[in-house]
Structure 1
Amino acid sequence: MTAPLQVYFIRHGETAWSLSGQHTGRTDLPLTPHGEAMARALAPALQGIAFSRVLTSPRLRARATCELAGLGILAQTDARLAEWDYGDYEGLRTAEIRQRHPAWDVWENGCPGGEMPAQASARADQLIATLAALTGHVALFSHGQFGRVLAARWIGLPVAQGQHFAVAPASIGMLGFDVDHPQRRVITLWNASAGGSLRAR
């Protein structure tokens, strides 16, 4: 019998800009030493899971997290897992952006020179369509803002509802299906720290 799809969403570990609150899209920052330790701490939770596919954002911080978590040998890069493109707001903090545009909200206004909410939503929908054709355990190494987009779209919510899903560095989420309603997508686990095995979930 084919195993049903279970998606493990893993955000990369800490970077200098995740610490400082700067919007990090295309900038290819490495993990901090603490971020590397966070990534290694993911390994015990993920080891022993027979992943049918491991996909990672092309950004260094996601690829390094995947490698340090012990899944680098299985990984394939998928550009659709890249972080929201912040365009002209790359490297800025929200407070700095609001000095220019006081009412700015990425979920409503998007980023000039980068992605609009509808574009981020469409990218998540394309990824979900690909995932729907897979079976078994699939790991995704990606980013905080895009993870929020993906969670919202996985359960059919408008992209702006992603604002309600917190995603900490090196956290794990699980996207799957309701046992009693196999066509109904659910969030099985979200924003969990790497504190133990996920195999019993």
Structure 2
Amino acid sequence: MNGARRGPRVVFWRHGQTSWNLEGRFQGSTDIPLTETGRAQARRAARQLAALQPDAIIASDLGRATETAAELAAVTGLPVTRHQALRETYAGVWQGLTNTEIQQKYGDDYAAWRRGEPVRRGGGELETEVADRAVPVILEAVERLPGDGTLVVVSHGGAIRTSLGRLLGLEPFHWESLGGLSNCCWSVLGRGGRGWRLLEHNAGTLPEPVIGDDT
């Protein structure tokens, strides 16, 4: 980059595969561990992300995120700081249900959510409330980076999308335009002269299907 100042960079890394991902069940804040495939995904992705020479790792305190983060910690030697604020959206009675079951039992709320209306899915959190709790933790970690440092945030599909939308200055209605992340894929923000910029989205070795709460 010809010695030019790059500024801080934030890598948002989604956790690896879980059994509920495969079963199409809405996980939300339910603490579901990685499958063996999920652990292998995390090991493979960690080797790639280590090449970015991260300066810090923060993660959701849910097991699937901390297990994923541990693979990068093992490669880089960095500690992982866990935050409850980086958990996936709490979705109340929707959690544990399949997409079909949600539509059958809570069809009106589901349809309103798909239209982009602010809905407490299953009586849980609004997407804006997820951003309200997650983004301050991310920005605090960014402020502790060296000037051109890289932060890795290990979290969940919905929490990552809402954080990206907030940091990019998008209106909440348009957050859905940021497509879901596949298991163990990542998005990268860099800070430019007019704020945060999306540098990469849903990056990984090869395209993978998006399975999970964002499907």
Q: Normalising TM by the smaller chain, what interval?
A: 0.7 to 0.9
Distance 2:31 2:71 in 1: 17
Partners of 2:56 and 2:80 within 8 A in 1: yes
Counterpart-to-counterpart distance in 2, 1:168 and 1:12: 9
The Cα offsets for residues 62-81 of structure 1, whole Å up to 9 and x where unpaired, read as 01111123357411001121
8 Å CA contact retained: 1:175, 1:189: yes
Superposed, 1:56-75 pairs within 5 Å as 56-69=59-72, 70=75, 73-75=78-80
- Asked if residue 42 in structure 1 is aligned to residue 52 in structure 2, the reply is no
Match of 1:76 in 2: 81
Q: Which structure 1 segments of 5+ residues have no match?
A: 196-201
Deviation at 1:155, TM superposition (A): 0.4
1:90 is aligned, of 95, 101, 104, to: 95
SS at match of 2:133: helix
State whether structure 2 residue 181 is matched by structure 1 residue 167: yes
Contact map agreement 2:56 2:78 (CA 8 A) in 1 = no
> 1:50-97: per-residue Cα shift (whole Å, max 9, x none)?
322210100100011111233574110011211011112111122211
Q: TM-score, normalised by structure 2?
A: 0.80
1:152 pairs, out of 165, 175, 179, with 165
Q: 2:124 corresponds to which residue?
A: 114
Cα distance in 2 for partners of 1:148, 1:173 equals 10
Q: After superposition, what is the alpha-carbon deviation per residue over 1:142-162, rounded to whole angstroms, capped at 9, x for unaligned?
A: 001111111111101123322
1:118 and 1:184, CA in 2 relative to 1: closer, same or farther beyond 3 A?
Answer: closer
2:89–2:127 CA contact under 8 A, matched in 1: no
The alignment-based identity, stated in percent, is 28
Verify: 1:187 aligned to 2:201, yes or no. no
Q: TM-score, normalised by structure 1?
A: 0.85
* CA deviation profile, 1:161-193 (whole Å, cap 9, x unmatched): 222222111001101123xxx232111101011
Residue 100 (structure 1) shift: 2.2
**8 Å contact from structure 1 (residues 28, 61) kept in 2:** yes
Cα distance, 1:127 vs structure 2: 3.1
Per mean C-alpha deviation after superposition, the further-off stretch among 101-110 and 152-161 is 101-110
Q: Which amino acid aligns with 2:89?
A: W
- Cα RMSD of the aligned pairs, angstroms, is 2.2
SS for the counterpart of 2:97 is: coil
